[in-house]
Amino acid sequence: MRPNTLGVIGLGAIGGSLARQAKLAGVAKVVGWSPEPSERVAAVQQGALDDAPPKAADVARAADLLILAAPPAANLVQLEALAPHLRPGALVSDVGSIKRAIVALAERLGLGATFAGSHPLAGTHRRGFEASRSDMFLGAVAYVTPCAGGEDAAREIGHFWETVMAAHVVTIDAASHDAQLAATSHVPQVVASLLALYLARATPPGAALGPGALDTTRLAASDAGLWSEILLMNRDQVLPALRALQEPLGAVERALEAGDGPALTGWLTRAAQWRRRVEPEP
């Protein structure tokens, strides 16, 4: 799908990047809304939007494809509020990292045939429209999560991500998406934040941090409010994943207590082998 009019609700780093990239890709009209008037003004002045009306409902009425680019809980509120204002046949998606709740809401609202969730694996720790880029999604993986009976909408929205955003689309059901992201994104966020808090207590004042500490705590700089929301919304998947870390951590502790070099080497080797398969060294 290449919409004649793309609507974007939320003009932060992700929403602003959607708008910028859509204009560069030749979408005829891009309209957007943010609760922050300064973001609406900046997006128009910088050419990311053709129009930024003062009400989100005005964007919904204009769009052939409406994308909700607020945090996950806000997207739920926006979907329910904007559903009555959608154009007949308009497609709707979101870009939140939790999919079950919004897919279920779309189905309850009778939007199952026109809604499919999206989740591009791209972003930045910076916030606001000024953190947006026109190449944010180039080559990124974009998950698309259909509603029940919404395969056509998912196919059209996937086509938008492929042809307009130049992303690689993976179609997956919402439950599988949330289980996968708990392991691959949400637990790493918790672990990085735990390590950051440990270093905050254990590091002497003025001590330099090496690349290992900096690399492994990068995620800890993420927005705390957003991540609290994500972790709570996906807690039924995050909690078992966190508990699964307790056994290997205990094994490392036991190996250190016993001075068991072979056990420790084996544990480190398995981790190194997995990491090298994921991202081979150049």
- The predicted pLDDT at position 126 comes to 77
3-state secondary structure at position 155 = helix
- The predicted pLDDT at position 277 comes to 94
Q: Are residues 117 and 16 in the same domain?
A: yes
Q: Are residues 168 and 187 in the same domain?
A: no
- The predicted pLDDT at position 14 comes to 95
- The predicted pLDDT at position 125 comes to 73
- The predicted pLDDT at position 193 comes to 97
What is the CATH number for 112?
A: 3.40.50.720
3-state secondary structure at position 147 = coil
Q: Are residues 155 and 67 in the same domain?
A: yes
- The predicted pLDDT at position 221 comes to 92
List the domain range (segments joined by +) for residue 20. Answer: 5-172
**Regions in the chain scoring below 70 on pLDDT:** none
The domain total for the chain is 2
Q: Are residues 125 and 214 in the same domain?
A: no
- The predicted pLDDT at position 205 comes to 87
- The predicted pLDDT at position 55 comes to 96
134, 20 contact by CB (below 8 A): yes
Question: Given 139, 172, 205, which residue is the final one in a domain?
Answer: 172
E-strand stretches of the chain = 5-9, 29-33, 65-68, 91-94, 116-120, 141-146, 168-171
- The predicted pLDDT at position 280 comes to 79
Query: pTM to 2 decimals?
Result: 0.91
Question: Given 111, 146, 172, which residue is the final one in a domain?
Answer: 172
| Region for residue 26 given its phi and psi (left: phi exceeds 0; alpha: psi -120 to 50; beta: otherwise) | left
- The predicted pLDDT at position 39 comes to 94
Question: Given 172, 207, 224, which residue is the final one in a domain?
Answer: 172
Q: Are residues 152 and 258 in the same domain?
A: no
Q: Are residues 195 and 116 in the same domain?
A: no
Q: Are residues 35 and 77 in the same domain?
A: yes
Q: How far is CA 246 from CA 69, 179, 202, in A?
A: 35, 19, 22
Q: Are residues 157 and 199 in the same domain?
A: no
Q: Are residues 32 and 81 in the same domain?
A: yes
C-alpha neighbours within 13 Å on the C-beta side of residue 168 = 5
- The predicted pLDDT at position 192 comes to 96
Q: Are residues 28 and 102 in the same domain?
A: yes
Q: Are residues 29 and 96 in the same domain?
A: yes
The predicted-structure confidence for 30-87, as pLDDT tens digits, reads as follows 999 999 999 999 999 999 999 999 999 999 999 999 999 999 999 999 999 999 999 9
Q: Are residues 97 and 196 in the same domain?
A: no
